[in-house]
Chains A and B, each alone.
Chain A
Amino acid sequence: MTSPLEQKKIKIAGPSIVTANRTWDGIVVYRTATKSWSADLSEAAIVRNSDEAKALLAESVADDVGAIGPYIAPVQVGADGKIEPGNLREQIRRTGVTIGQSAQA
């Protein structure tokens, strides 16, 4: 859960994706294998080593108009191929705040 803003270098300990926020409205998006962005985690491109991660991140950074603040985040991929966030931070980004009350949409 260390903030990606504090990540100094790319470390891949397992399947990972690139996530960012869409520029015009800020919503959470994921880089897809078709070089675009999707709000659906299941459409995210999976990378499994540092070279793949660096390449996907570089491509994402280059799409500066589409989304901002891209970074690599861990995911878990089930036997059925289902992608789930790899930590609490990404879980919250995917499913929303955990606080109920007025803060829920």
Chain B
Amino acid sequence: MYAYDEIDRTLVNERVSEFRDQVKRRLSGELTEDEFKILRLQNGVYLQLHAYMFRVAIPYGTLATNQLRALAHVARKYDRGYGHFTTRQNIQFNWIKLAELPDALEDLAKVGIHAMQTSGNNMRNVTSDQWAGVAPGEIEDPRIWSELIRQHTTLHPEFSFLPRKFKIAITASDHDRAAIKIHDIGLRLIKNEKGETGFEVLVGGGLGRTPFIAKTIKHFVHGRDILSYIEAILRVYNQYGRRDNIYKARIKILVHELGIEKFSREVEEEWQHIRNSSLQIDDEVIEDIRSRFTYPAYEKLPHMPDELRQAAADPEFEAWRKNSVAPHKVQGYSIVTISLKPIGAPPGDATAEQMDALADLADKYSFGEIRVGHEQNLALPHVAKRDLPALWKALDKLGLATPNVNLITDIIACPGLDYCSLANARSIPIAQELTRRFANHELANLIGRLHINISGCINACGHHHVGHIGILGVEKNGEEVYQITIGGRADENAALGTLIGPGVKFDEVADVIEDVVEAYLALRKRPEELFMDTVKRLGVEPFKERVYATR
């Protein structure tokens, strides 16, 4: 966990007071909506179909139990009893009243939570690997660097009025769980030949109506130079990024239009002006941040405790363990992913009761820490293996032990037309129907790793471009129509999916996905060949033929 200092606490509290005054002036008519809009967006407040939506940041996906309880409290007191975890380590409340928002912000501020950097054309909440600090083989904890960037960019005037929003993600493992290649800047923490910490820097990734996979702009930037290098990128973007056309304003468009070589040269030139400035980071700064991250006092525990050995006889426990429990860097401990994808439910939703109960379980079994992943699931990062059977039983009672992590029913979906003012089509009901179609755990296991991503409009909040199967809802002649892509992925081998054919109607989507899956099962060479491998080997044609031959 990270302990905020006095500067952070003051900043957060001052922001609450400011916003309270702004809301008061808005409700009295002293501020017009045009004047107020940018102020509310700077505090994570959007207007959606039914109400205001309040987006709260969970920097680098790390939550303490008192923070999760505060989110449950907000859900219960100010909203309708639940929250929605997003694809960028935020949580959204969908029914909040503007008049009560300052109180909600104040309640969150008491535990160091805020909504800064969750909307607007600024540097957004820095995201990272939800297994940061505990993943075996990790180079070092990427949250230290995430926190450094968070501190530097929060309310930074140069980053507060960018041409468009700007997103950074950091990973420190070979397997990228932070989807860095679909971010404006992706940072991969590495060591150079001298053993010094630095970053491979990628730039220009993003989805939306013009998707791009990020390109490497520099293979190694020393850790001490990372702020100046990021700032150099931002300066080039600020100088050349288009402000005349919202659809061409993201840095990915600039990188594409300039070309990565020219863009790199511009950044390099800018960087030379500032790299030896006060932006160079002293070791003491990093050590100070590092010292504010506390790590559990792990016990020395056996690799295979008796409790785990005995529980292995229970097939339901074993199904969950094999699916949801991952190795930890410390012997005797595990990382447990909590699926927020029960069959038939909206992906990423958690009730206030679930959040409270999960906080209790995290206190009991995970040293008081919870993580949030971009796949819209949660994780307990420090669970002793001996406690896994008891934890599983407790999670099962809460409806939080669905053994479907990384399987076909672990669907990523945006709120879609049920909530979102930008959406053209519904996402959640599609996800719900698909989870029902593939509810049989044996079938889901037979299919193996397969990610479905659903977006209700071209803005792609459900990351459909990088779903193994991507579903994009559009509107055609007043009806919801869904385009299907296959072959996308968001990991270290990130790729954009390929459209398999004409769009299909709402009622046909689940049938089409079943056809795609049946085609895969028939086409794969052996059970171990994953969906993505089959698509890579054969291309989209066999799938297209299967789907459209009878339609």
A17 CB–B CB distance under 8 Å: no
CB nearest to A87 among chain B residues: B478
CB of B347 to closest CB in A, whole Å: 10
Given contacts A25-B98, A92-B417, 18 further A-B contacts (CB under 8 A): A1-B475, A21-B50, A24-B99, A26-B51, A87-B478, A97-B418, A97-B419, A99-B428, A100-B432, A101-B344, A101-B345, A101-B346, A102-B82, A102-B345, A102-B346, A102-B349, A103-B349, A103-B428
Contact with B along A11-33 (1 / 0, CB 8 A): 00000000001011111100000
A interface vs B, CB < 8 Å?
1-5, 21, 23-28, 64-65, 68-69, 87-89, 92-93, 96-103, 105
Contact with A along B455-497 (1 / 0, CB 8 A): 0010000000000000000010011100000000000000000
Q: How many Å lie between the Cα of A92 and that of B94 in the bound state? A: 14
CB of A58 to closest CB in B, whole Å: 15
B63 CB–A CB distance under 8 Å: no
User: Do B47 and A99 touch (CB < 8 A)?
Assistant: no
User: Do B346 and A23 touch (CB < 8 A)?
Assistant: no
8 A Cβ contacts from B367-391 to A: none
Q: Which of B26-34, B66-74, B319-327 contacts A (4 or more CB under 8 A)?
A: B26-34
User: Do A3 and B51 touch (CB < 8 A)?
Assistant: no
Can you list the 3 inter-chain pairs with the closest CB atoms, starting with the nearest?
A26-B51, A25-B97, A97-B418
State whether A26 and B47 are in contact (beta carbons under 8 Å apart), knowing that A64-B32, A88-B480 are contacts in the complex: yes
Residues of chain A with a CB closer than 8 A to B82's CB: 102-103
CB of B328 to closest CB in A, whole Å: 31
| Chain A, interface SS category | loop
B65 CB–A CB distance under 8 Å: no
User: Do A27 and B51 touch (CB < 8 A)?
Assistant: yes
B47 is contacted by which of A64, A69, A92 (Cβ under 8 Å)? A69
B52 CB–A CB distance under 8 Å: yes
User: Do A88 and B32 touch (CB < 8 A)?
Assistant: no
User: Do B424 and A102 touch (CB < 8 A)?
Assistant: no
Residues of chain A with a CB closer than 8 A to B421's CB: 3-5, 69
User: Do B457 and A3 touch (CB < 8 A)?
Assistant: yes
B208 CB–A CB distance under 8 Å: no
Residues of chain A with a CB closer than 8 A to B419's CB: 97
User: Do A26 and B417 touch (CB < 8 A)?
Assistant: no
8 A Cβ contacts from B400-438 to A: 417-419, 421-426, 428-429, 432
B49 CB–A CB distance under 8 Å: yes
B450 CB–A CB distance under 8 Å: no
CB of A43 to closest CB in B, whole Å: 18
Q: How many Å lie between the Cα of A69 and that of B51 in the bound state? A: 11
